[in-house]
Amino acid sequence: MLEALPPNPRIVASGNAAIPFEMLRIIDHTLPEFTLNMLAAHAGLPMREGITHETSFVGAGMRKSPRLAYVPARLSMVPLLFSRTLLPDAVVAHTSLPHNGKLSLGIEANVIVGAIEACKARGGKIIAQANAKMPYTFGDAEYDIEDFDAIYEVDLPIATSARRPKVQAATGDAAVIGELVSSRVHDGATLQLGIGMVPDATLPFLAKLKGLGIWSEMFSDGVLSLIDAGAMDPERKITASFAAGSAELYEWMHLNPQVLMLRTETTNDPAAIAMQPQMTSINTALQVDLFGQANASRINARIFSGFGGQTDFIVGALHSPGGQAIMALRSWHPKAQVSTIVPLIEEPVTSFQHSAIITEQGIAEIFGNDQAHQCWSIINKAAHPSVRSELWEEAHALGLA
């Protein structure tokens, strides 16, 4: 089947924690040249002359690729590319084993749903790496077996975190940020939570709330912790387009009707996000400037990750009844030893005009305030004290003070 593909075919594969490594190994040994398109790829991809790595969100597995083709796009728009400019010749999806005549995309519906549709429309090949370790999930993740041209069964581990983290109090700056973020979240809110320092630090404080819901690009073990604490509304489905976490998380997801895995065009649709009650989008960035702009994508002009769904969720959250978009980060980068609050971002801007910017220094209110007040708040409430004098000088030069 692979030999029937055109020269240098574009192959779209499941990404994040659902990479179909075994099928990629076979493709690598079969095709002299191909373009591999996937999101947030982990390490271990085939990497040699003849392979182009293509993505709209760069993961560790592609970040140092000498043949990286980065295609800027908000995550909600990536599936559209597959029917316009990045036409797939084949899709390799990492699926569950068959269940009642169907396969499931498991932990990664994401952009694969759109890729499958675009590939089918142009007569391409749809291949499943069906894994006994992949949980069966519902929603847009479900497909009839007949939808696949080939099914290659495996029983291999899926990328996991070492173990499920427990909800416990964070320490230092992380604890301060987590408590400040959680102070803005109320009973019945809908959360966008990912992986990282800010969500982990926020969880212990959210565990005290009631009636929470999840509508997110992705989720991880934090959901289990909130369920254990009785903070989640059991009547609301946990809705996302992909998941990444521990083996315990994947076991819990398997055939769980409370989990609804939807295509990215739905989960990241600002209009759909805006319909969620008290939608609270919690994001982070590499830098924030005095205009309230955030850079979460590039370092010294070199692409580090991508737009992802940050803009999608910020726009949607701001339109939600009682919604808010929070940008949370440390005021000082501990490794680079530089301020994360800068006068003016020199990189391409990822997002802007959040509800508030939160650091361990405090909460800077942004949305609805004039630019002079925004600047005052960012410097006095969010910036590290050691750089505030310098930032005020730059603020005057920028006409913000």
Catalytic residues, by residue number, are 217
Contacts 24+ apart (CB under 8 A), 57-66: 57/305, 57/306, 57/307, 57/308, 58/303, 58/304, 58/305, 58/306, 59/15, 59/16, 59/305, 61/19, 63/304
Q: Are 274 and 319 in contact (CB under 8 A)?
A: yes
* N- to C-terminal Cα separation, the chain: 65
Tokens of 346: 């020199």
Question: Which residue, 367, 291, 286, 369, is CA-closest to 328?
Answer: 286
Q: Please name every residue paired with 154 in a beta bridge, in sequence order, or none if there are none.
A: 131
Residue at token pair 């609804």: 260
Q: Which of 243, 216, 263, 47 is nearest to 159 (CA)?
A: 243
Give dist(CA 87, CA 78) in Å, integer: 12
Which residue has 């592609």 as its token pair? 62
Q: Which residue has the tokens 């993505």?
A: 55
DSSP string, 79-141: HHHTTTTS--SEEEEEE---BTTEEE-TTB-TTHHHHHHHHHHTT-EEEEEEETTSPP-EETT
Beta carbons of 191 and 213 less than 8 angstroms apart: yes
